[in-house]
Amino acid sequence: MTLTTEQSTAGQFWSDVDRHLVRYGGWFTPEIIDRAAGSFVYTADGRQILDFTSGQMSAILGHCHPAIVATVQREIARLDHLFSGMLSRSVVDLARRLAESLPAPLEKALLLTTGAESNEAAIRMAKLVTGRHEIVAFARSWHGMTHAAAAATYSAGHHGYGPTPPGNFAIPTPNPYRPDFTTPDGELDWQRQLDYAFALVDAQSSGSLAACIVEPILSSGGIIEPPPGYFAALAAKCRERGMLLIVDEAQTGLCRTGTWYAFQRDGIVPDILTLSKTLGAGLPLAAVITTAEIEQRAHERGYLFYTTHVSDPLVAAVGNTVLDVLQQEQMDVRARELGDVLRAGLLDIKDRHDVVGDVRGRGLMQGIELVLDRTTREGADALGAQVTRRCLELGLHMNVVQLPGMGSTFRIAPPLTITREELALGLEILDQAIGEAAPA
């Protein structure tokens, strides 16, 4: 058989992948992606794939949004990168606008590049301000792959890398679908679980508790949303111990869950908020936002987080454009409305397929968990991989949690710009893929 030019080129591409790329987790999607636009990515051989993950959960305005493209084209020719001690208007404007979007007293921002970096900076700040070093996080957490962020990440990444910094404690993740502490009627008894968790923390602590870092919805951990009331109680536990509460909204922030920030559902205000992914709509922009009091204390103690791309003007200009679009198009309202459509579709799929054990999440950040049996709730990792492959063949990119024991949970986070018709198409493909892959 004679190979076409495209097939020959593709063969060389995958040969180069095998020969030259470091594998960094999970598997590579077996497609060569040539371009992207709106809610779709397009392969080198012309296939159109609906993107139900917004890239790496980041492209909240879809791919190549015209406003973002225009900003990058304009700013790259005007102000690309500066010495870290120099400031541009775009940086200061973005800091001010982020403060305006948040409840008091959050008003001081540090602009960085990635979620891991923003969590690193937040943890470093918390340690300096409190004069302590111990950090608490959920047992299914994901906060990044740098030093302190990785030490507070428990869903994966600890085996084989040697000891983490001392003073890192994991507490049970409040998972209503898989409760470990239960009420008499079998529901999650999160208050008893939380009390037990901090009793263990207190027993292990050397008296140097600095902060607790949490995601409002644990994404890599399996789209787990702690019940209403939990975070208020957690904040109280932190206050009792003089700890700071860091909320990591790398994936949930900026309208995705139907409110500007996911923590707003719970009536709390964190001491430190971290943002990433969504702030740059796919470009490398992150932020740490805290109170004037905490910033002042950190400054007096010599807070140091001097990096090459701190306060970069180009991505700050993009961040301002992201806020423009979110505000002008009322994306929080849109995410709530389309989230209702998405949930109704996922619940309909659950009604038709016994292998769907649970539907959970909020707004345009939802998930489904596949199980071998609804009574035992045993996960179906192999089935999750099958459904993922079949969805891709049918033209839908789905993100199954690529971590051991969690490969049966899909993370669904389409762009906030997705249309109802595109949502319906994705749900139709997912329904078909589950029906074809599930055992009869």
- 189 token code pair: 């008894």
Tokens in use for 103? Answer: 């409840």
Q: Which of 142, 190, 241, 332 is catalytic?
A: 142
Per the residue annotation, which of 189, 215, 225, 249 is the catalytic one?
Answer: 215
How many Å apart are CA 409 and CA 403, to the nearest integer? 10
Taking a C-beta distance cutoff of 8 angstroms, is the pair 189, 119 a contact?
no
Q: Are 81 and 313 in contact (CB under 8 A)?
A: yes
For β-strands 409-412 and 40-43, DSSP reports them as unpaired
Of 101, 50, 52, whose CA–CA distance to 361 is shortest? 52
* CA-based end-to-end distance of the chain: 38
Q: Measuring CA to CA, how many Å separate 71 from each of 51, 255, 280, 318, 431?
A: 23, 21, 12, 6, 38
User: Number of C-alpha atoms within 13 angstroms, CB side, residue 318?
Assistant: 29
Distance CA 159, CA 60 (A): 33
Nearest one of 137, 200, 149 to 173, comparing CA atoms: 137
378 noted as active-site residue: no
Catalytic residue among 266, 381, 411, 422: 411
Reply yes or no on whether 14 is catalytic.
no
To the query of whether residue 411 is one of the catalytic residues in this protein, the response is yes
Tokens of 285: 């922009």
- Contact present, 200 and 171 (Cβ < 8 Å): yes
189 is catalytic: no
Q: Which phi and psi (to 5°) does residue 412 adopt?
A: -110, 115
Catalytic residue of the set 277, 334, 360, 362: 277
Contact between 234 and 194 (Cβ < 8 Å): yes
Catalytic residue among 193, 251, 366, 386: 251
DSSP element (H, E) containing 137? strand 134-138
From the candidates 248, 266, 271, 422, give the one annotated as an active-site residue: 248
To the query of whether residue 237 is one of the catalytic residues in this protein, the response is no
Q: Reply yes or no on whether 251 is catalytic.
A: yes
Two tokens at 218?
């644990």
Please identify every residue annotated as catalytic: 142, 215, 248, 251, 277, 411
